[in-house]
Amino acid sequence: MKRFWLWVPVSVFALLAGIFVSQLRHPSGNTIPSHWVGHPMPQFDLPAAASSRPALSFANLADGKPKLLNIFASWCIPCASEAAVLADLKKQGVEVDGIALRDTRSDLDQFLARNGNPYTHIGGDVSSSVAIALGSTGVPESYIIDGKGIVRKQYIGELSPEDVPALVAEIRAAQ
């Protein structure tokens, strides 16, 4: 009987470790719901971050046209590979606005010259105040914004070419 009680803690530990490993391998979901979905973007007015594009403010996002808002940075490696996807979205008629996070104008200008510039407006969020207000988890991150400035969907991480058809459909539906 004493041997039985010696194995109980080991068995409980093994069971909990198995559950933990199982949840790591097969998480319950791969999306993180944003508390902004269904709500207007926070009010903001960011200065122009790039030499070739105007500044970005809430008013630009609530101009009656749905768009994709992309948070990115010149120092972000996935942002460079995501640039081709954003260019493809622009070719398909999607307006893309950007927030450059903790960037300098010269670094951003070089990044855009190397990777293309699909953005209509680019605001510089040097202090990350808008990104923090949005609850952004990092770069890259994208939001579908309807014509009234309301967040309709949030994408965390790099957009891939496979995402383009769904993004185009969601942006058109956000009219």
Residue 79 resides in a domain: yes
Residues 29 and 34: their CA atoms lie apart, in Å, by 14
List pLDDT tens digits, range 35-48.
778 999 999 999 99
64: left (phi over 0), alpha (psi -120 to 50) or beta: left
Residue 1 is assigned to a structural domain of this protein: no
C-alpha distance from residue 75 to each of 100, 111, 124 (Å): 10, 8, 14
Asked if the structure places residue 13 within a domain, the reply is no
Torsion sign (Cα): 104, 106, 107, 108 = positive
For residue 23, what are the contacts with CB-CB under 8 A and spacing of at least 6? none
The answer to whether position 19 is within a domain reads no
CA–CA distances in Å: residue 21 to residues 26, 27, 150: 9, 10, 38
Enclosing domain of residue 108: 31-173
For position 17, what pLDDT does the model report? 79
Give me the number of domains the chain comprises: 1
Sign of CA dihedral 132, 137, 138, 139: negative
User: Domain for residue 14, yes or no?
Assistant: no
* Residue 21 in domain: no
pLDDT at residue 30, rounded to an integer: 44
CATH number of the domain within which 66 lies: 3.40.30.10
Which segments of the chain have a pLDDT < 70? Answer: 1, 24-34
Is 114 within a domain?
Answer: yes
pLDDT (0 to 100) of residue 16? 77
pLDDT of residue 11: 77
Give the residue carrying structure tokens 């933990």: 20
Q: Residue 24: what pLDDT?
A: 65
Residue 64 lies in a domain: yes
Q: What is the value of pTM for the model shown? A: 0.81
